[in-house]
């Protein structure tokens, strides 16, 4: 039986199209996937493969662009001239759109990846650059934003569509930024640890930091990392425990 929920359920999203072997096992338990489109990983072939799974399981898809950094999986900050950064982001999103059109799918959202996602949370000038880019080029497409971030502030000011995203499997600091990868406890990979965070978000609208401080939080979408080593074990359980039971397609 599902626990009594006092708040609307956020959608479940996952970062996919990143070369993991378990993608087919993950897709049934999502609402929407963010697909790598060439900046940190991916090409037209990987996009087509993920799009095919999205169609098979009836899921929505969004673009997941990043700094152009295949070598470091987009997880290192880069100092790029604004025109260069915007050109690579446009190229990545255009590649996603091409693959989506070929699969008769539409772009549900845009979610920036890795270091770029973290940078726009705290860098006002970078957040301004990217929100202006989105407003000019994709004014009707929601962007996923970190809670209590520069990006959230600017989409609110500019009236852009957005969804507040909270990570179900990452630890947060007291300033609402993610605990740096490599820090002990930054990635939650056991069912017990992830369920503790999910319950807190869904039932109490709170995040507990590693130091024990409780942060108020509202999530429109809840992210599970596709490359989390525990995802195949914990995601089906969480989906069927806290969300309505997933209906798998008849193959």
Structure tokens at 76: 């290192």
Residue spans of beta strands (DSSP E) within 156-246: 162-167, 206-208, 214-216, 221-225
- Residue 119 domain flag: yes
- Residue 18 domain flag: yes
Tell me what pLDDT residue 244 has: 72
Largest interatomic CA distance in the chain: 53
- Residue 229 domain flag: yes
Please give the model's pTM, rounded to 2 decimal places.
0.94
pLDDT in tens, the chain (251 residues): 466 677 789 999 999 999 999 999 999 999 999 999 999 999 999 999 999 999 999 999 999 999 999 999 999 999 999 999 999 999 999 999 999 999 999 999 999 999 999 999 999 999 999 999 999 999 999 999 999 999 999 999 999 999 999 999 999 999 999 998 888 889 999 999 999 999 999 999 999 998 889 999 999 999 999 999 999 999 999 999 999 755 555 44
Q: How many Å from the N-terminal Cα to the C-terminal Cα in the chain?
A: 28
Number of structural domains (the chain) is: 1
Tell me what pLDDT residue 6 has: 74
- Residue 197 domain flag: no
- Residue 37 domain flag: yes
CATH code at position 56: 3.20.20.370
- Residue 81 domain flag: yes
- Residue 181 domain flag: no
- Residue 6 domain flag: no
Assess contact for 103 and 53: CB atoms under 8 A: no
Tell me what pLDDT residue 251 has: 46
- List the domain range (segments joined by +) for residue 162: 11-168+219-242
* Selection from 53, 162, 40 nearest residue 89 by Cα: 40
Distance CA 250, CA 234 (A): 23
């Amino acid at each position: 039986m599902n626990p009594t929920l006092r708040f609307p359920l956020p959608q479940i999203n996952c970062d996919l199209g990143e070369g993991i072997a378990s993608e087919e096992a993950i897709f049934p338990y999502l609402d929407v996937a963010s697909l790598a489109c060439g900046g940190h990983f991916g090409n037209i072939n990987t996009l087509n493969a993920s799009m095919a799974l999205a169609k098979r399981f009836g899921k929505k898809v969004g673009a997941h662009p990043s700094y152009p950094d295949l070598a470091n999986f987009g997880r290192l900050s880069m100092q790029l001239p604004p025109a260069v950064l915007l050109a690579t982001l446009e190229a990545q999103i255009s590649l996603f759109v091409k693959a989506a059109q070929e699969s008769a799918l539409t772009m549900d959202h845009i979610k920036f990846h890795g270091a770029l996602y973290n940078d726009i949370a705290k860098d006002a000038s970078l957040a301004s650059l990217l929100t202006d880019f989105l407003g000019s080029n994709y004014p009707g497409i929601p962007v996923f934003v970190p809670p209590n971030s520069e990006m959230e502030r600017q989409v609110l000011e500019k009236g852009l569509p957005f969804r507040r995203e909270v990570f179900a499997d990452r630890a947060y600091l007291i300033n609402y930024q993610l605990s740096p990868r490599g820090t002990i406890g930054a990635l939650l990979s056991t069912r017990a640890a992830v369920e503790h965070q999910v319950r807190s978000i869904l039932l109490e609208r709170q995040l507990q930091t590693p130091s024990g401080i409780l942060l108020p939080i509202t999530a429109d979408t809840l992210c599970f990392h596709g490359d989390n080593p525990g995802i195949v074990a914990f995601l089906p359980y969480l989906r069927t425990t806290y969300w309505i039971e997933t209906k798998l397609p008849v193959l």
